[in-house]
Amino acid sequence: MIQVILRGHKNIYDTRELTKLFDSEVEIYEEMAQLSREKDFVISRLEKDLTGTLRAAAQGKIQGKTAEHQRPVKIPDEKLQPREKALAYDKNQREALRSCLFMVLRELTGKKPVWGIFTGIRPVKIVQNMLEASMGCDEIFQTLTEEKFLEKDKARLLIDIAKEERALIYPLEQRALNIYVSIPFCPSRCYYCSFPSNDLYRKEGEVQQYLTKLIQELQASIKIINQKNIKVNTLYVGGGTPSILNREQFEALFAALQDLEGYSRLKEITVEAGRPDTFSMEVLQCLKDHGVGRISLNPQTMNEETLIAIGRKHSPEQIHQAYGMIRKVGFESVNMDLIIGLPGETEQSLDHTLEEIAKLQPENLTVHTLAIKTNSYLKEHQDLLTLGEEGVLKMLDKIEGFTKEHGYIPYYMYRQKNMLGNFENVGYSKKGGQSLYNMKIMSEKETILGFGAGAVSKVVNLKTDEVKRVPNIKGLGHYMDRIEEALEKKEEILKDF
Ligand SMILES: C[S@@+](CC[C@H](N)C(=O)[O-])C[C@H]1O[C@@H](n2cnc3c(N)ncnc32)[C@H](O)[C@@H]1O
Ligand code: SF4
């Protein structure tokens, strides 16, 4: 356990997130008196030096060793407006504090977190902002590795992905949006998942009721979008497992969606058919007939024992069959999700999964590192997890080798809380097959309207680079009972478009 005492500032959240990279148990105190001197501790300070310049500092003692680091707080550009200047100053203070704390903890623990001081979900955004500030790639690389302490390969990954994004989603459009439709039902709950999916087999009657409300929400917004002539770029139907809907239900959903005047001009339509045991040729044909171009079929692993262990009630063979059906109907873009670090998996298990994936050659491969989610079965059964940080690292190296060998490039990435080894999730694509929706949602540079229970809208203001999060109610029953609230929220968002 590490104790951290704050002096001259109250950045509790930042301090906790950063210290957690070095020890899972952290106590933060604001008073020296609370400190137990027998235990490991670090003091994080914000103070003025003798010349009156503001500086950050950290000093600590861990297992008898001591260390101290200091950094001046950068002064923001004089030309900034007062509000922007204050925000920049606050950001610089926090960053200097994080850097000092990182340097002290790295020196005292010997640990080197690969993502340096970055603890957020979207590190690419930081690089994107650097590119927007006209920094060159060499300068960005240097800043990432020397000031933010990222490992070189992670810095390169961020820069490569930011460049891909620039090529594909820039120039940015303020008056355009994307639609996300949530189908929060799954045939069973996977042991690692905390998604609030509702057990389909116990709530079958609710699927139809839910669809009615969802369509009501879509119709109300589509009417405004048409009236205001707002451009819609992409559509994503996700979940949960949307492919639990039958043909009639998909027909009804797409009838509502096709009221969108720009439907035929959408740049991309994706439907998640995550579990191979959920759909038929009839459903696939219906999706194809409604212009869906991209399907996500998610093996997670191609090892039978693991699939059983994680509660996904399908076999690897069913994945091959489902993939064959998708291709037979003529979909040109298929994504497959994998998870690294599932219970009982070894490097050999991953070799087998990759051999099977190599036979299929999907256009997109999304590789997640297992995250221990709060409301998942795995959270309570962590004894099932045998792979250490080294093991995860070796597997991620294998993924890198495999993707290079098979012509995949990384094109979007994000991080989550409580991931094994604090690594990352990376979306790979064959050249030209990048999913625009994934890039847009991760870059937060274009508004997403989320429809359905638990769906989150993200409203982007390009002028201020601010993103407003507007969530729909999570619980299925609450969403259906209070559908008016969802309609009002959408009206409010679209009013300003
Ligand atoms: C919200 S799920 C929806 C996809 C779909 N329902 C399925 O499972 O096939 C999106 C993806 O996130 C990944 N995922 C879910 N829980 C995870 C966890 N605890 N750790 C890492 N990845 C996870 C899985 O690869 C999953 O396919
Ligand atoms: S991983 Fe996908 S299929 Fe499994 S419970 Fe979560 S959302 Fe449902």
Is the per-residue pLDDT at 144 higher than 80? Answer: yes
pLDDT at 201: 66
The whole-number average pLDDT for the span 486-491 is: 97
Percentage of the chain surpassing pLDDT 70?
99
* CATH no. of 2-111: 3.30.160
Question: Is residue 190 lining ligand 2, measured as CB closer than 6 Å?
Answer: yes
Write out the H or E segment, with its range, that includes residue 61.
strand 54-62
pLDDT at 439: 95
Distances in Å between the Cα of 487 and the Cα atoms of 180, 185, 496 are 15, 22, 15
The whole-number average pLDDT for the span 107-123 is: 94
Q: Is 221 helix (H, G, I), strand (E, B) or coil?
A: helix
pLDDT at 54: 94
Instruction: State both tokens at 172.
Output: 């940015």
Nearest ligand atom owner, CA of 418: 1
pLDDT at 250: 98
Q: Are 66 and 59 in contact (CB under 8 A)?
A: yes
The whole-number average pLDDT for the span 210-220 is: 97
User: Of 69, 93, 89, 66, which is closest to residue 77 (Cα–Cα)?
Assistant: 89
Q: 172-495, which class in CATH?
A: alpha beta
Q: Are 417 and 428 in contact (CB under 8 A)?
A: no
Is the per-residue pLDDT at 199 higher than 70? Answer: no
Ligand 1 atom with the shortest distance to the CA of 373: 19
Q: What are phi and psi of 371, to 5 degrees?
A: -115, 135
Question: Is residue 240 lining ligand 2, measured as CB closer than 6 Å?
Answer: yes
- The 10s digit of each residue's pLDDT in 307-336 is 999 999 899 999 999 999 999 999 999 999
Is the per-residue pLDDT at 120 higher than 70? Answer: yes
Question: Is residue 310 lining ligand 1, measured as CB closer than 6 Å?
Answer: no
What is the Cα Rg of the chain in Å?
A: 24
Top pLDDT among 195 and 175 is at 175
Q: Which residues make Cβ contacts (< 8 Å) with residue 11, sequence separation at least 6?
A: 44, 94, 97
- The 10s digit of each residue's pLDDT in 394-447 is 999 999 999 999 999 999 999 988 888 888 999 999 999 999 999 999 999 999
User: Of 305, 291, 284, which is closest to residue 257 (Cα–Cα)?
Assistant: 291
Nearest ligand atom owner, CA of 296: 1
pLDDT at 202: 65
The whole-number average pLDDT for the span 174-194 is: 93
User: Any idea how long the chain is?
Assistant: 497
Burial class (CB in 10 A: 0-12, 13-18, 19+), 25: exposed
- The 10s digit of each residue's pLDDT in 81-98 is 888 889 889 999 999 999
pLDDT at 418: 85
2-111 and 172-495 share one fold: no
Q: Is 360 helix (H, G, I), strand (E, B) or coil?
A: helix
Ligand 2 atom with the shortest distance to the CA of 188: 5
Percentage of the chain surpassing pLDDT 90?
80
The chain-wide mean pLDDT, for the chain, equals 94
Q: Are 46 and 97 in contact (CB under 8 A)?
A: yes
- Scanning the structure block, which residue is given the tokens 């390969």? 153
pLDDT at 198: 67
Ligand 2 atom with the shortest distance to the CA of 239: 7
Question: Is residue 341 lining ligand 2, measured as CB closer than 6 Å?
Answer: no
pLDDT tier at 197, thresholds 50, 70, 90: low
Q: Which residues make Cβ contacts (< 8 Å) with residue 382, sequence separation at least 6?
A: 372
- The 10s digit of each residue's pLDDT in 235-256 is 999 989 999 999 999 999 999 9
Nearest-angstrom CA–CA distance, 469 and 209: 27
pLDDT at 33: 76
Residue-range domain boundaries for the chain: 2-111, 172-495
- The 10s digit of each residue's pLDDT in 262-316 is 999 999 999 999 999 999 999 999 999 999 999 999 999 999 999 999 999 899 9
Which pTM value belongs to this model? Answer: 0.92
Ligand 2 atom with the shortest distance to the CA of 192: 1
Nearest-angstrom CA–CA distance, 424 and 398: 14
Nearest-angstrom CA–CA distance, 294 and 378: 31
